[in-house]
Amino acid sequence: MCSFISDTLRGMDLPFPALWLRDNCPCPACRDPRSGQKLHTVADLDGEVSVAASAESGGTVSVHFTDGHVARFERDWLDRHRDVDAAGDGRTETGKDLWDRVAPPEAGWAGFRADPRPALDALWRTGFVLLRDTPVAPGTVLAVARTFGHVRTTNYGELFDVRIERQPGNLAFTSRAIAPHTDNPYRDPVPTLQLLHCLRAAADGGGESGLVDGFRAAVLLRDRHPEHFAVLSRMPATFAWGRLSAQRPMIGVDEIGRIREIRYNNRSLQPLAGPREGLEAFYAAYRAFDALLNRAGAMVTFGLGPGDCVIFDNTRVLHARTAFDPRAAADRHLQGCYADLDAVQWLVARTQVAAG
């Protein structure tokens, strides 16, 4: 059994197991000062270690362990680790600003180049940002992605052109309306960011873009129909395209129930298999979630003019577009690419573990 510092320092109320304290010793022999990386494994430590003595002085708690090691912790640091941080890593519902038809966060290209952090902070918390006045030149979407992150190349290439094709391999390349969806749900991991950059708009103004907060719709589903939320978060759905497939739930929650990832795409959803009762429950839940995603007041819509670039979180925000007249829109041309959220986190995170 472990001993606890609270056993020897009852007045301090530091409810940490001795092994937790030993493992988290911040001294340079335990944690590399340059990288912040831990230098021992859990097997290097005595599993039966206990606290031999301890004392607090000037905001520092010194702990002498039975293995002979001495650790010195800042009292503030220990206090901060008493309770679970509700925001987690910032990727679940608890770290986001959820919305209904929010005013799009915007940034001009010049300002973004000077300091991308306000726009990226909006992208991180709101789930999307609109960049205005970027260059109207092919390939700009890649340049935008590379100002802050790294392009995720897929079988579609580094970038993809969204325009009407004669023999489209994907419905994105037609003039059809496209219902709110996330991209590439048949891929695991999905690209966590998508960028769409406008080179030429449709002459009739059709082909407007729309975004919906999937986390908000999932929260509403959980509030109003917890039985449907349970089905969509616990039942793996298969999405497939070509030879790619992924079997993942429409509403991904983490181990303690926080909404973390939405996968939603009617076009690539495959037939569910299983007992009839499960299929019935799935369709009831699917219809209820679809109704919430398409509820009045959920979607923010905007036109993308030449030089506009929208960046959105593909694990949370669904995108859609209205239909357009293929004659008026023969020249409509967007370019898109994928990237990942880690680069955004790197720029917007408020804390870091070491000089890194």
Binding range to its own copies, per CB under 8 A, among 106-114, 127-135, 145-153, 194-202: 145-153
Select the span of 63-71, 101-109, 136-144, 169-177 touching its own copies (CB under 8 A). 169-177
For residue 29, state whether it binds its own copies (rule: CB under 8 A): no
33 binding its own copies? (CB under 8 A) = no
Q: Which is nearer to its own copies, 180 or 199 (CB)?
A: 180
Q: Which stretch binds its own copies (CB under 8 A): 62-70, 113-121, 211-219, 236-244?
A: 236-244
Please give the Cα distance from 101 to 218 (Å, whole number). 15
Strand stretches in the chain, DSSP E: 51-57, 60-65, 70-74, 106-108, 128-132, 160-162, 178-181, 193-200, 209-213, 237-241, 244-248, 251-253, 259-262, 300-302, 309-313, 317-321, 333-339
150 scored as a contact of its own copies (CB under 8 A): yes
The answer to whether residue 132 forms part of the interface with its own copies (CB under 8 A) is: no
Q: Is 51 in the site for its own copies (CB under 8 A)?
A: no
Q: What share of the chain is helix, strand, coil (3-state, %, to 5)?
A: 30, 25, 45
Residue with Cβ nearer its own copies (223 or 243): 243
Stretch that binds its own copies, among 55-63, 132-140, 209-217, 281-289 (CB under 8 A): 281-289
- Could you tell me which stretch among 104-112, 122-130, 132-140, 228-236 binds its own copies (CB under 8 A)? 228-236
Q: Per CB under 8 A, does 267 bind its own copies?
A: yes
List binders of its own copies among 331-350 (CB under 8 A): 340-343, 345-347, 349
Region binding its own copies by CB under 8 A among candidate stretches 62-70, 120-128, 199-207, 252-260? 252-260
170 binds its own copies per the rule CB under 8 A: yes
Binding its own copies by CB under 8 A: which of 42, 55, 110, 137? 42
DSSP string, 278-333: HHHHHHHHHHHHHHHHT-TT--EEE---TT-EEEEETTTEEEEE----TTTTTT-E
For its own copies, how many residues bind (rule: CB under 8 A)?
99
As beta bridge partners, residue 129 has: 311
Nearer Cβ to its own copies (246/262): 246
- Can you list the positions of beta strands (E) in 163-279? 178-181, 193-200, 209-213, 237-241, 244-248, 251-253, 259-262
Pull the structure tokens for residue 47: 């599993």
Residue 353 in contact with its own copies, rule: CB under 8 A: yes
For 302, phi and psi rounded to 5 degrees? Answer: -160, 155
Cα–Cα distance measured from residue 54 to residue 333, given in angstroms and rounded to the nearest whole number: 68
Contact between 38 and its own copies per CB under 8 A: yes
Binding of its own copies by 287 (CB under 8 A): yes
Three-state DSSP state, 343: helix
Shortest Cβ distance from residue 130 to its own copies (Å)?
Answer: 25
Give the count of alpha carbons within 13 A of 218, CB side only.
28
Choose among 314, 320, 321: nearest CA to 91.
314
| Residues 184 to 203 in contact with its own copies, rule: CB under 8 A | 187-190, 192
